[in-house]
Amino acid sequence: MQKFGGTSVADAERIKSVADYIARVHKRGNGPVVVVSAMGHETDDLLEVAAKVSKSRPGREMDMLVTAGERKAMALLCMALHDLGVPADSFTGSQAGVLTNGEHTKAKILEMRPARIEAALLAGRVPVIGGAQGVSSGREVTFLGRGGSDTTAVALAKALGAEACELYTDVSGVFSADPRVVPGARKLARLSYEEMLEMNAAGCPKPAMRSVEFARTHGVRLHVRSSFTWEPGTWVEKESAMEQPIVSAVVSDQSEAKLTVAGVADHPGVAAKLFRALADKLINVDMIEQNVSLHGTTDISFTVPHDDLEAAQQVALELQRELGASGVFADPDIATVSIVGAGMKTNPGVSAMMFEVLAAEGINIEMISTSAIRLTCVVRESAADRAVIALHKAFGLDWGGGL
C-alpha cells in the first residue's frame, strides 16, 4: 500500500517520476495498491473557485466538486503507468468500496468493501484509488476532509491485509524537531503510534492525526517517507518492548492564541458554562488552565487556534457579567513548545529538566499541560525557536548526540 500526497503528484514530471517508482515496485512482485491525493494546490484552487461562485457552498456539492481533484490525479497516474507497460486502473472512492456516513465535507468511513481492488490485484493490475473519497448509503459522493487520503490508505491497507502503509510526501520522514529551526534535527527511524499522536496534537501536521489513530486502532504499520529522494523514512508502529528513548522529539506550534478570563467566582459550574458556550460555537479549545483560588476568585486561561480567537473573545465577553469576571484578555503572541517521548512515563525527572532548560534560557513558562508521554509549555512566541533549540540539545537529540 502506497499513498502519494499532493506534492508527490504536483505536475506532469512528478507524476511520471511516481509512475516510474511504482513500475519498479510492480516488477519486483504483485501490486502495489496506490492511493493518490489531488495534484499540488488543486484542492485549494477548487475551493477558491467555489468561494467565487457561492456563499452557501452546500456540502453535497462541495464534495462533488473537490473529488474532481483526486479523479484527475489518479487517471493521469494510470496513464503514465500504461506508458511504462504497467497495467493500471483508477478507482473512485465509490468504486473502491469506501463506504462512509453521509456527513459531507468530513465523512467517516463505516466499512471497506474493496472487491474491485482485489479483483484488479488478482488480474495482475495496479489499482490506483482516489484518496479521501467515499460513497454514502444514500449513494452520494462523500469527501473525508483534508488529509483524508492518509485515512483511505490506512483503511485500505487494513482491509486488504497489506503488510504496511507507506505515506509518501515531500519530507523524508518525521524529525526530532523542525529542521528549519534546529539544524541538528534528525530523522527518527521509528515512533510509536502514541508518540506520533502526541506530536500531532503538539503541532506536527503530517501524517494526518486521524489516519494515525485509525492505524493504531487497526494495527497498520505506517512508513512516512519521501517521493523525492525515495530513501527509507520513519516507521510509526506499536510500541516496541525495547527500552524507549526518553524524549523522541521537540515540537512547537505557533498557530494558537491564549485567552484569559480573569477574576471569576470560584464555584462549581463556572468553567462548565464557559466551555459549553465555546463548544456551541464550534471553537476548538486546546489547553486549559485554572489558577489556584486564593481570594474566592480565579483566572481561567485557555488556548484556541488564531482563527477562532475573535469568536472566543466574543463568547467570553458575552458571559463576563454572568461569570462575574473582572476582565477578558486576549494574547495572540504565544507559542507552545512540547517534548514527546514514550520513555517519559517511566522517567520522573523529565519535567523538571524541561523547566530547568527553559529557565536557563531566561524563558518564562506561562501555561503547562501534560500527558503520559508529552509535556507542553506555553511561552512567548518570540522565544519559541530558542526554546526548541535548547530542549533539542539538552535531551541529547542533536545529530550524533544521544541521551
Nearest approach in angstroms of CB 1 to its own copies is 21
Angle at 72 between CA 215 and CA 132, to 5 degrees: 25
Cβ closer to its own copies: 125 or 190? Answer: 125
Cβ closer to its own copies: 52 or 180? Answer: 52
Cβ closer to its own copies: 33 or 171? Answer: 33
Task: Give the binding site for its own copies (CB under 8 A).
Answer: 12, 15-16, 46, 49-50, 52-58, 60-62, 64-65, 67-69, 71-72, 74-76, 78-80, 82-83, 88-90, 92, 95, 116, 139, 141
Cβ closer to its own copies: 48 or 318? Answer: 48
Nearest approach in angstroms of CB 15 to its own copies is 5
CB atoms < 10 A from the CB of 180, how many? 9
User: What pairing do the DSSP bridges indicate for beta strands 34-36 and 367-371?
Assistant: unpaired
User: What pairing do the DSSP bridges indicate for beta strands 256-265 and 327-331?
Assistant: antiparallel
What 3-state DSSP class applies to 401? coil
Nearest approach in angstroms of CB 36 to its own copies is 12
Q: Are 306 and 332 in contact (CB under 8 A)?
A: yes
CB atoms < 10 A from the CB of 230, how many? 13
Q: How far apart are CA 7 and CA 295, in angstroms?
A: 56
Nearest approach in angstroms of CB 30 to its own copies is 21
Q: Taking Cα atoms as reference points, which of 165, 156, 178, 183 lies closest to residue 233?
A: 165
Cβ closer to its own copies: 64 or 311? Answer: 64
Cα distances from 145 to residues 103, 133, 355, in angstroms, run 10, 9, 38
Nearest approach in angstroms of CB 96 to its own copies is 12
Nearest approach in angstroms of CB 167 to its own copies is 23
Nearest approach in angstroms of CB 188 to its own copies is 34
Q: Are 230 and 295 in contact (CB under 8 A)?
A: no
Cβ closer to its own copies: 136 or 200? Answer: 136
CB within 8 Å of 98: residues ≥ 6 apart: 109, 112, 129, 133, 134, 135, 152, 155, 156
CB atoms < 10 A from the CB of 351, how many? 15
